[in-house]
Structure 1
Amino acid sequence: MKGDSAGGHPDAAVGSFPQGLLKALSVQQPWAWLIVHADEYDDPKRIENRGWRTRYRGPLLIHAGKTFDRSGYESVVDVRPDLLEVMPSPAELERGGIVGRVEVIDCVDHSPSIWYRGAYGFVLQGAQPTTFVPCRGRLSFFEVDLRELSTGRLDGKAAAPLEESAELRPAIVALADKGLPASEIARALGTSVRAVEEQLRDVRAMVLRGEYRPALLPIECAAARNNN
């Protein structure tokens, strides 16, 4: 099975982070999913391969990078076909944001785990998937402000808001017209629930004012318009 190392540099400083900040590590899919969903399948991935050693021990957010490791995915399903029953398809794997958290408890240079490919392995425990929050990843460990994470905001700005544009609105409207809740639309489009809700409110208001006519008109908008 091929490794999951995504490159990077050794952590420049070790110790406690300033209050409100937490370390994060960017990992390509499907490896990020396998890490944060480790309690959902047998013989799970509880080790993350890197080319550098770390002395850090403690909580770590897992960031799913935007790049998809297709060869890695194929090697996983070849060696572990049972995972096809629980692991999402490549198109369904969330990318470009925080997907969960773990605890780093050790860093080793050898391991009997089938997931270990070295040169070093960060030993993990306490895997927990979280609500997807879009966020720009970086090499090595990077800091995420927990206060911004809790409000769906990262890097000091709204987390990947959907722009009010003719290009993006039809996608929101089409999914809403199918009866999908805002949470599922956000997951499908890689943005926050709040951003989707705001866009849907704007679309409804613009439709009622006659300022916007989407190719697919949401059922509730059409009903409201017909009642006026």
Structure 2
Amino acid sequence: MISFVSKILATITLFLGCSLFALADYKTAVNAHNRGDYATALREFKALADKGDPNSQFNLGQMYASGKGVPISYEAAASWFLKAATQGDAGAQSFLGQMYFSGQGVPQNYQSAAMFWRKAAEQDDTPAQFNLGSLYLNGQGVTQSYKEALVWFDKAARKGFAMAQNNLGFMYANGYGVSQNYVQAYVWASRAAAQGLNQAIQLRNDVVARMTPFKLLKRNAY
């Protein structure tokens, strides 16, 4: 989940040429949210969101999705995420992809999930990269492709996303979209296992059981 802090930084960049009053209002909203004054946060975010600020639209969507200051409404959350996503907000695109995938607030639609996750993934959103890889792995909303899955898992894995590291290790272990390579499988499974991912620990142990003595020596070079 994208934090409010990261959205503040994005907004500072966005409003460099804009009114300082708008930036002050946004900070007021964020500070109110962080101290639990959701009524004030909602009012300030709503005023800015109505003027088209994508960061406020994104945060308003989060408030409706989590029920902070308002009753939970996935429909309202999806509506605000869509407004921000249309303006290119990667966080909103990523959340909207999840909502289309699970059918929360919108009709379930894997093609729409893939579309929004791709938009976010191309902006380097790590969860979206993992989720898009999963769609390609399973053939949901896209034509099934191990090679495409590998590409997106690799991008997320190199940024430390444990589930992507595990899936990358699994693909190397089984030769899905890449030549089978137990050393690489071990490396990626180990990185995910180091973050406490139980399935990665099991994968690492399975890979070790398959490796020859020579490959067991080679893995220690990593």
The answer to whether TM tops 0.5 is no
| Higher fraction of helix | 2
| Higher fraction of strand | 1
Q: TM-score, normalised by structure 1?
A: 0.26
Report 1 or 2 for greater relative contact order, CA contacts < 8 Å, sequence distance ≥ 6. 1
